[in-house]
Amino acid sequence: MNEKISITAISSISPLGESLEESWNSYQNENHFLKEEDFSNEKTWVGRFKSSSIKNIEELRGSDVKYKKLDNSVIYALFASRNAVRMAGWIQDTDQKVNFGINIGSSRGATELFEKYHAEFLEKNKVASLASPTTTLGNIASWVAHDLQTEGPVFSHSITCSTALHAMLNGIAWLKSGMANKFLVGGSEAPLTPFTIAQMKALKIYSKETSRYPSMALDLEKTKNTMVLGEAASMACLETGVSKNSLALVKGVGYATEALRHNVSISADAECFQQSMKMALGDMAPSEIDVIVMHAPGTIKGDQTEFNAIKKVFRDEIPFLTTNKWKVGHTFGSSGMLSIEMAVLMLNRQKVIKVPYLEYENIPKKINTVMVNAVGFGGNAVSILLSRPST
């Protein structure tokens, strides 16, 4: 990539917390943030926000009468986006405007409101007047643009679980084209609803674990699927060039889509990941990658196929492998940006984040370059390479 592009801020709200410091502290122990709740009269593992975060979300919802009817996925996006642009310095105290583009996606979108309005329709054979405008996918980015008062280009999209990294790809493309010099990118997901969870259980991939770790993501020896859903929103501020507040540089990007063999699964060697990782590497040697933050959803096939792809690409030089889904669950469309945040934390703190039930032979002494993977249903893979601003 000829044009240097920086991440100048990243902010999220997830079971880890609401700030980089809080997220880093949450990663420093071997405890997960998953808990059992009742869904359709069945105990179910989920990754839910902390009580303090729930309170802050409700305060935001009550701050504007127009926000009271919005879906959680939109409110979560507003919360994380406000914090990100403040951190980047895009919000000014003067009358001078800082315009930037926005691309925020979601795998499911306003699923809670969909379920609410559909139940209402079945009962009354009619719905409320706001049923349509509050459940459109474009709702997420458009409300963030309204809230932040930017006049840049605004997009919402869904590419299932690789949504947030596809948003990052799009933001990078706009910056490289010269049509913008700042872009807010990310994903937001509020999937902890009865129907959404029922869909995952129907696929027979949802965790029924009773051991210490309900989600055994990246454990290649597991004999049962252990995916758990979590809620989150995560946003990154992208800018052209390098500045004093650059947290990481985008060193390479890759993407690929497999020919569909099955509605939800990818090939045994994850051809899409092989292609996306090779594209992201470009002319770099595999040995230059210190860490890979894997997609690793906690399913038997999902974890194994991604690992097979890594072996194909890196052969005998497999980097340190990690994931955060054992700790917070799979947050669908926002998961890729949570992984980007994890990569930024490791780059800046110069310390790896381990999966506690895995045994590691080699721990990198320096972390200069991290690869982040994400893939969605249908084999829509993205790989992003991040490096320290000084490298």
Residue at which a domain ends, from 205, 240, 275? 240
Residues 235 and 276 in one domain: no
**282 touches 221 (CB < 8 A):** no
Of the ranges 193-202, 309-318, 376-385, which one carries the lowest mean pLDDT score? 376-385
Residues 210 and 261 in one domain: no
Confidence at residue 93, expressed as pLDDT on a 0 to 100 scale: 57
Mean pLDDT of 304-330: 97
Percent of the chain clearing pLDDT 70 (strictly above): 96
Residue at which a domain ends, from 209, 240, 271? 240
Q: Is the dihedral of CA 24, 26, 32, 34 positive or negative?
A: negative
Confidence at residue 94, expressed as pLDDT on a 0 to 100 scale: 52
CATH number, domain with residue 308: 3.40.47.10
Mean pLDDT of 335-350: 98
Residue at which a domain ends, from 219, 240, 261? 240
Residues 38 and 157 in one domain: yes
Residues 160 and 297 in one domain: no
Displacement of CA 225 from its chain's centroid (Å): 21
Residues 67 and 213 in one domain: yes
* Domain limits for position 289: 248-387
Q: How many domains does one find in the chain?
A: 2
Does the pLDDT of residue 333 top 60, yes or no? Answer: yes
Residues 21 and 109 in one domain: yes
Tell if the pTM clears 0.85, that is, is over it.
yes
Residues 16 and 138 in one domain: yes
Residue count of the chain:
391
**Spatial separation of the C-alpha atoms in residues 342 and 172, rounded to whole Å:** 19
Of the ranges 101-105, 224-228, 373-377, which one carries the lowest mean pLDDT score? 373-377
Residues 218 and 268 in one domain: no
Does the pLDDT of residue 88 top 70, yes or no? Answer: yes
**Residue 45 burial by Cβ neighbours in a 10 Å radius (0-12, 13-18, 19+):** buried
Which of 262, 19, 28, 11 is closest to 148 using CA atoms? Answer: 11
**124 touches 159 (CB < 8 A):** no
Any idea which residue has 């770099």 for tokens? 284
pLDDT single digits (tens) 259-316 = 766 555 678 888 999 999 999 999 999 999 999 999 999 999 999 999 999 999 999 9
Partners of residue 184 on adjacent β-strands: 102, 237
Confidence at residue 99, expressed as pLDDT on a 0 to 100 scale: 87
pLDDT single digits (tens) 138-157 = 999 999 999 999 989 999 99
**Spatial separation of the C-alpha atoms in residues 29 and 221, rounded to whole Å:** 23
Does the pLDDT of residue 116 top 70, yes or no? Answer: yes
Residues 328 and 184 in one domain: no
Partners of residue 40 on adjacent β-strands: none
Does the pLDDT of residue 354 top 90, yes or no? Answer: yes
Cα-trace Rg, the chain: 20
Confidence at residue 269, expressed as pLDDT on a 0 to 100 scale: 84
